[in-house]
Amino acid sequence: MKGKTKSPPQVSLSEITWSWIGAFLGIAAVALINDYLLEEQDLLLTIGSFGASAVLIYGAVKSPLAQPRNLLGGHVLSALIGVAAYKMFQPHLWLAASVAVATAIAVMHATKTLHPPGGCHGLNCRHRQPEDSQSGLPLRSDTCGPWRSRYVGCCAPG
């Protein structure tokens, strides 16, 4: 298939191996925390956007979109926007999701934290979350995973 831009450069077997190890350890850490620490709390930490983040932080480490500021800021800001949109527009979840994703992109641009997988959190507002009894806000465990995954990524040599 021919596109208008160049394909990514070929990487060495060593880089492929370290990408695999980093992704395995990062996702394993998030999944283990999900399965053993959050199991009885009805919170979900293993969400699709973390798989996409793993591709960026372990497979495209030099990309501006894979840097710690973008990874953490993009996920956290987008999750907060998703929660706000959920609270403001329910029961019209189609509107909440649309506003959340569009607003998240704008805010990530404005704060220089653009991270494409973060946009997923606007769609997560379509899924009912357990609510915190004091704040009334849906609890979002999906803002914690990037911290753990990036920590493992920073520890991998290469």
Region of poorest pLDDT, from 3-12, 33-42, 146-155: 146-155
DSSP characters over 95-155: HHHHHHHHHHHHHHHHHT---GGGGHHHHHTTS--PBPTTT-PBP-GGGTHHHHHHHHHHH
**Mean pLDDT computed over 16-20:** 94
Domain boundaries, given as residue ranges, for the chain:
13-155
List pLDDT tens digits, range 27-65.
899 888 888 887 776 666 677 788 888 898 999 888 899
Work out the pLDDT band at 4, boundaries 50, 70, 90: confident
- pTM passes above 0.75: no
The Cα-based distances of 36 to 31, 113, 148, 154 in angstroms read 8, 31, 15, 23
Burial of 29 (0-12, 13-18, 19+ CB in 10 A): middle
Mean predicted lDDT score pLDDT of the chain: 77
